[in-house]
């Protein structure tokens, strides 16, 4: 079995915050609080999009915002996104009812999250 990749939680969180800030500058309709936690499952989920924002954006704008975040993360934390299939980094959008969560799809089989 291949050894898991090690990713610093502190560095990854800082990279997520930087990516969200940069994406908000490029997409001013997305006025969000910085995510305070990261959840790992079928989707690496960073944060929900408030309904007040969703009422003023299209699905295409939401996808562009998610892609912007992933683009910044792929530069800041390449070890977390190094195995993206096809080399094209795209954000993920999970929606159930009016609850929308932005994140990135997991791209490695496993990784070790370190302090």
87: left (phi over 0), alpha (psi -120 to 50) or beta: left
Instruction: Please give the sequence-ordered ranges of beta strands (E in DSSP) within 43-98, or none if there are none.
Output: 44-49, 92-96
Residue percentage of the chain with pLDDT more than 90:
20
Top-confidence residue, 115 or 32: 32
- Could you state, in order of their start, the residue ranges of all structural domains in the chain? 5-114
pLDDT at 61: 94
Please classify residue 8 by burial: count the beta carbons closer than 10 Å to its beta carbon, then call 0-12 exposed, 13-18 middle and 19+ buried: middle
pLDDT in tens, 87-104: 667 888 888 877 888 887
pLDDT in tens, 34-63: 877 766 655 566 678 888 999 999 999 999
Supply the pTM of this predicted model. Answer: 0.69
Please classify residue 101 by burial: count the beta carbons closer than 10 Å to its beta carbon, then call 0-12 exposed, 13-18 middle and 19+ buried: middle
pLDDT in tens, 4-19: 567 777 888 888 888 8
- Copy the structure tokens of residue 42: 């079928």
């Amino acid at each position: 079995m291949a050894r898991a990749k090690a990713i610093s939680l502190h560095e990854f969180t800082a990279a997520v915050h930087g990516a969200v800030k940069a994406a908000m500058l490029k997409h001013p309709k997305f006025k969000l609080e910085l995510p305070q936690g990261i959840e790992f499952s079928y989707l690496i989920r960073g944060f929900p999009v408030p309904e007040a924002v969703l009422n003023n954006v299209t699905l295409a704008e939401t996808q562009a915002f998610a892609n912007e975040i992933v683009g910044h993360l792929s530069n800041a934390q390449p070890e977390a996104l190094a195995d993206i299939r096809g080399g094209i980094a795209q954000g993920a959008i999970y929606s159930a009812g009016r609850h929308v969560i932005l994140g990135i799809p997991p791209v490695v089989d496993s990784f070790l999250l370190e302090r």
